[in-house]
C-alpha cells in the first residue's frame, strides 16, 4: 500500500496525467467554451480524478509487468463489457435525451446518442459517413495490435505498455461495436459546458496517459533520434505489419548510410 507521503509526492506520472486535462482545458478556453466562471470552476474538479488515476495506474503498473495474451484479452473483453453493460442500463432506465443531475447541473448522467461516431468528430461537428468511420476504426485497431506486438518484440513487456494496450484496445474495440450495432456511441456522463462521454472515452484518455508515461519512464525508448531515424523506424514497423517480421538491423543501417 502507498503511504501518505507517496500519495502527496509530486512525480512525472502525476504531472503527465494532470497535463492531459490541462491541455484540454486550455484548448476549450481558446475555443470560447467557458461562458461563465462557474463553468471553469467545475471543470477544475477532474484534476482530482486524474490525480487519483495517476496513483491507481502507478500501482497497477507494478502488477502488470508480465501478462499473457489470454490475460490481456480477458481484460480487454471485461472493459468492453463494462462499457456496454452501463449503456444497456442507461438505455433501459433513462429516456433518450434526458439528463439526471448528480452535482447540480454541473455533473449529470444522460442518454445521448453521439451519431458522429467519435468525440473528435462530434466536437468539431464533422459529419463523416459511418461506413468510412467503421473502416477507419478497423484500420486503427489493426495498427494498434501490430504496434503493440512490434513494441513488445523490440522492448519486451513492462507494466505501463501492458496497461496501454489493454486500455486502448478496449476503447477502440468498444467504439467499433458502437458503430457497427448502434449507429453511434451512447454518451452518458456529462460535465457542464464541455462534454458528454462514455467509459471508452475514459479508457482511451487514460491509455494515452499510460503510453506517455511509458515513453518518459522507459530508458530504452529513444526520443532523441533525427528525421532519418524516424523514417527507418516507420519503415521497419510497416514491414512488420504486413510481413510479420522485423527488418534486419544491419540492412537498415546499410540503407541509412547510403
Cell 476504426 locates to: 137
Give the model's pLDDT for residue 5.
56
Which letter, b or e, does each residue of 174-187 get, where b requires 16 or more Cβ atoms within 10 Å of its Cβ?
bbbbbbeeeebbbb
Q: Do 57 and 17 meet the contact criterion of CB atoms below 8 Å apart?
A: yes
Cα distances (angstroms) measured from residue 86 to each of 5, 82, 160, 180, 189? 35, 6, 26, 18, 11
Give the model's pLDDT for residue 141.
96
What is the Cα–Cα distance from 122 to 187, expressed in whole angstroms? 11
Q: Do 213 and 207 meet the contact criterion of CB atoms below 8 Å apart?
A: no
Give the model's pLDDT for residue 6.
60
Give the model's pLDDT for residue 4.
56
DSSP H helices in the chain: 4-8, 12-30, 37-42, 46-61, 69-93, 119-123, 130-155, 159-182, 199-217, 227-243, 249-256
Give the model's pLDDT for residue 248.
56
Mark the ranges of the chain whose per-residue pLDDT is less than 50: 1, 250, 252-258
Give the model's pLDDT for residue 44.
83
DSSP class of residue 32 equals T
Map out the domains of the chain as residue ranges: 4-221, 225-258
What is the Cα–Cα distance from 128 to 112, expressed in whole angstroms? 18
What is the Cα–Cα distance from 162 to 159, expressed in whole angstroms? 5
What is the Cα–Cα distance from 219 to 154, expressed in whole angstroms? 13
Find the farthest-apart pair of alpha carbons in the chain and give their distance in angstroms, rounded. Answer: 65
- The answer for 244, left when phi > 0, alpha when psi is -120 to 50, beta otherwise, is left
Amino acid at each position: 500500500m502507498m503511504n501518505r507521503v507517496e500519495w502527496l509526492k509530486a512525480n512525472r506520472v502525476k504531472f503527465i496525467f494532470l497535463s492531459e486535462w490541462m491541455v484540454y482545458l486550455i484548448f476549450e478556453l481558446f475555443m470560447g467554451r467557458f461562458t461563465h466562471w462557474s463553468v471553469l470552476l467545475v471543470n477544475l474538479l477532474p484534476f482530482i480524478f486524474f490525480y487519483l488515476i495517476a496513483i491507481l495506474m502507478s500501482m497497477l503498473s507494478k502488477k502488470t509487468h508480465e501478462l499473457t495474451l489470454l490475460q490481456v484479452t480477458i481484460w480487454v473483453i471485461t472493459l468492453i463489457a463494462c462499457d456496454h453493460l452501463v449503456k444497456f442500463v442507461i438505455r433501459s432506465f433513462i429516456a433518450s435525451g434526458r439528463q439526471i443531475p448528480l452535482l447540480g447541473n454541473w455533473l449529470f448522467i444522460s442518454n445521448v446518442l453521439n451519431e458522429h461516431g467519435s468525440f473528435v468528430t462530434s466536437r468539431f461537428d464533422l459529419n463523416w459517413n459511418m461506413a468510412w468511420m467503421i473502416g477507419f476504426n478497423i484500420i486503427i485497431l489493426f495498427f494498434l495490435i501490430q504496434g503493440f506486438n512490434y513494441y513488445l518484440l523490440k522492448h519486451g513487456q513492462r507494466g505501463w505498455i501492458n496497461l496501454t494496450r489493454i486500455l486502448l484496445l478496449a476503447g477502440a474495440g468498444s467504439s467499433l461495436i458502437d458503430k457497427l450495432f448502434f449507429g453511434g456511441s451512447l454518451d452518458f456522463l456529462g460535465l457542464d459546458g464541455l462534454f458528454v462521454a462514455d467509459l471508452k472515452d475514459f479508457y482511451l484518455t487514460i491509455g494515452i496517459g499510460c503510453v506517455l508515461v511509458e515513453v518518459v519512464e522507459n530508458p530504452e525508448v529513444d526520443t532523441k533520434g533525427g528525421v532519418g531515424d524516424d523514417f527507418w523506424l516507420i519503415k521497419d514497423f510497416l514491414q512488420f505489419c504486413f510481413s510479420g517480421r522485423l527488418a534486419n538491423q544491419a540492412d537498415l543501417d546499410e540503407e541509412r548510410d547510403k
